[in-house]
Amino acid sequence: MPITEYLTNNATKFRDETALVEITPEVQEKSRMTWREYSLIEPGTASSVRKEMSWGEFDKKANRFANLLLSRGIKKGDRVAILLMNSLEWLPVYFGILKTGALAVPLNYRYTADEIKYCLKLSDSSVLVFGPEFIGRVEEICDRIPDVKYTFYVGEDCPTFSESYDELVTYCSSKAPDISLTDDDDAAVYFSSGTTGFPKAILHAHRSLVHAAKTEQAHHSQTKDDVFLCIPPLYHTGAKMHWFGSLVVGSKAVILKGTKPQWIIKTVSEERCSIVWLLVPWAQDILDAIDRNEIDLNGLQLSQWRLMHIGAQPVPPSLIKRWLSVFPGHQYNTNYGLSESIGPGCVHLGVENVHKVGAIGKAGFGWKVKIVNENGEPVEKGDVGELAVKGPGVMTCYYKDEKATEAVLRDGWLFTGDMAREDEDGFIFLVDRKKDVIISGGENLYPVQIEDFLRKHDKIKDVAVIGLPDSRLGEIATAIIEVKEDEHLTEEDVNDFCYDLPRYKRPRKIIFAVVPRNPTGKIEKPKLREMYCGESVVAKQNEIENK
């Protein structure tokens, strides 16, 4: 069945029950704040604004937008782009698009005007839905996107070059449109992280979305009583597909517009959240804030919080050991996935396998995995190879890019570009991205292994390891280290700490600086290469990645 049927069923069974809650720190002109501005609001300086939506309202809003699109001639197979910050409107807009048979095209809120234009053109989008944070960027390109027939603005004070979504949907029917959908119909276009140049367009069918929902619910056993806290941006497959577990059972989800540790803990307590998906930096920030006595757990309602899980990046075992010492009653899970495999869970650890923290786990619900050499042949257990996955959530293709599709899809297997190994118990450990491997003096160095080691230092907040050109060794491992607040660390301290590493794995160069991460928590290594490696190395890296 198509993913939209879950919403229809919930609206029937749980019409007046809460589906979504939006929590926003109350500040002046909050509707025009960026995601980063929201996240930097100091707790205690403002109360929060709380809005909620029932399942019945959710479905009616989706139907109204679907009928608006149909009235403008949007039909099955068309593309409608979404450029919104997280809000109560985000998911009704998404499902409204799907109910018409059109494809939803979520856009990264960090895109520049030119990147927005590029993605609209690549995806063949004919409609753009955008919010107040993007007025300037959309206005900059509105005369250069002739294929976009309509732009709908969500928010107050609609700009003159667009139409008001809020006003138009008021006059549209809340009855579900009569559009036939199947599992095989195209549903959405997502975009890759764009590590080199502009991103690729990833095409998924309804089958992929439904499987993501089933996988999430199978892994984390959501029930009607669970409350999911959603913090990451909904344009990304991870956040939305983890919420799909709530969609399956009709349970409440809370959208929090901020990443401050105090806001997260406060929301968990006040909204009785039981499942929270965090990124590594957010988990670290929470623990650091507790250590600094900036968060007092006494008197908070946290007993219902049963699960903390992390995805989108390698997870330091030391972090989880520390987390479970502070929250001993929590279950923990980690999820591995790509936008090409519809987000979470093609590999997952499992809450029962906390003794294997450090591994990404085994094949997820309905998935198959293998680790192969350069010829596509399975490697021996313990050997490093490329991770490949196969299942109902694999993308249809890179839209309008046959060459790129052929490079990663073979006989139904998606070759992830991630280097991994399998231990004697069948658990998979992520070693590194294929393109991030450093070849130093003929030895392959895997930055993630060095990063995991350095994160054990109690003064290191974050670390990224990249290859820096060297005339003798070809490349040397370079560690960019972000030191914890109010701590002091020297190069000599780091070198002394690294004595327990094999000599060839020790960083040859130390740089103290902030480690940049994208909205989904991944280290922005292309940016670091550009900053520290020089143009020639960046050009070489781009050449490798584009092959």
- Choose the final residue of a domain: 415, 432, 449: 432
CB atoms within 10 A of CB 518: 17
Query: Is residue 546 pLDDT above 50, yes or no?
Result: no
* Three-state SS letters, 380-398: CCCCCEEEEEECCCCCCEE
Entry pTM: 0.82
Residue 43 scores a pLDDT above 50: no
Tell me which H or E stretch contains 167.
helix 165-170
Which residues 6+ apart lie within 8 Å of 140 measured at CB? 113
Residue 28 has pLDDT above 50, yes or no: no
* 384 in a structural domain: yes
Structure tokens at 383: 């050997």
Domain at 540, CATH number = 3.30.300.30
In this structure, the answer to whether residues 224 and 75 fall within a common structural domain is yes
State pLDDT tens for residues 503-513.
878 999 999 99
257, 291, 325 — which closes off a domain? 291
- CA dist., res. 153 & res. 31, Å (int): 13
Residue where one domain finishes, among candidates 266, 291, 316: 291
Nearest-angstrom CA–CA distance, 437 and 447: 7
- The confidence band for 47, taking pLDDT boundaries of 50, 70 and 90, is low
pLDDT of residue 219: 94
Q: Can you count the helices (H) and strands (E) in the chain?
A: 17, 27
**201: exposed, middle or buried (Cβ count in 10 Å: 0-12, 13-18, 19+):** buried
pLDDT > 90: percent of the chain: 67
- What residue numbers bound the domain in which 350 lies? 307-432
Question: Based on the domain organization, do 374 and 488 belong to the same domain?
Answer: no
CA pair distance 468, 450, nearest whole angstrom: 15
* 356 & 459 share domain: no
> Is residue 110 pLDDT above 90, yes or no?
no
Contact, 416 vs 387, CB < 8 A?
A: yes
Instruction: Give the CATH number of the domain where residue 138 resides.
Output: 3.40.50.12780
- On whether residue 428 sits in a domain, the answer given is yes
Mean pLDDT of 365-371: 96
491 HSE (CA, 13 A, CB side): 10
Query: 300 in a domain, yes or no?
Result: no
Total domains present in the chain: 3
Which pLDDT band, with edges at 50, 70 and 90, does 217 fall under?
very high
- With respect to residue 461, please indicate whether it lies within any of the assigned structural domains: yes
**What pLDDT score was predicted for residue 312?**
63
Q: Per mean pLDDT, which of 15-19, 49-53, 314-318, 439-443 is the most reliable? A: 15-19
pLDDT at 491 over 50: yes
Structure confidence at residue 311 (pLDDT): 74
Q: Which structure tokens are listed for 306?
A: 């049963």
User: What pLDDT, on a 0 to 100 scale, did the predictor assign at position 26?
Assistant: 61
Answer yes or no: is 301 within a domain: no
**Segment 416-460, tens digit of pLDDT:** 988 899 999 999 998 867 777 787 866 778 788 888 889 889 899
First to last CA, the chain: 37
What is the pLDDT, as a whole number, of residue 442?
A: 61
487 assigned to some structural domain = yes
Do 445 and 427 share a structural domain? no
Shared domain check, 221 and 95 = yes
Residue 389 clears pLDDT 80, i.e. is over it: yes
251 and 342 inside one domain? no
Q: Look-up: residue for tokens 């309905």? A: 366
Same domain, 419 and 448: no
Mean pLDDT of the chain: 89
Q: What is the CATH number of the domain that holds 311?
A: 2.30.38.10
Average pLDDT score over residue span 264-283: 92
Q: Compute φ and ψ for 123, nearest 5 degrees.
A: -85, -5
Burial annotation 48-61 (CB, 10 A radius, 16+ → b, else e): beeeebbbbbbbbb
Residues 397-415 pLDDT 10s? 999 999 999 999 999 999 9
Q: Identify the CA nearest to 288 among candidates 322, 313, 317.
A: 322
Say if residue 271 is in the same domain as residue 319. no
Residue 543 above 50 pLDDT? no
Per-residue confidence (pLDDT) for residue 536, from 0 to 100: 43
298 within domain boundaries: no
Q: Which helix H or strand E contains 467, and what residues bound it?
A: strand 460-470
Residues 121 and 256 in one domain: yes
Q: If you average pLDDT over residues 361-384, what whole number do you get?
A: 93
Q: How far apart are CA 419 and CA 448, in angstroms?
A: 10
Q: Does 533 lie in the same domain as 487?
A: yes
Q: Pick 385 or 430 by higher pLDDT.
A: 385
Mean pLDDT of 12-17: 98
pLDDT band, very low/low/confident/very high, at 132 (cuts 50, 70, 90): very high
pLDDT digits (tens, 9 = 90+) for 154-211: 999 999 999 999 999 999 999 999 999 999 999 999 998 654 457 899 999 999 999 9
Q: Based on the domain organization, do 18 and 112 belong to the same domain?
A: yes
Structural domain includes residue 69: yes
Check: CB of residue 368 under 8 Å from CB of residue 389: yes
User: Pick the residue with more confidence: 121 or 525?
Assistant: 121
387, 504: one domain:
no
Please check whether residue 134 is in contact with residue 10, taking contact to mean a CB–CB distance below 8 angstroms: no
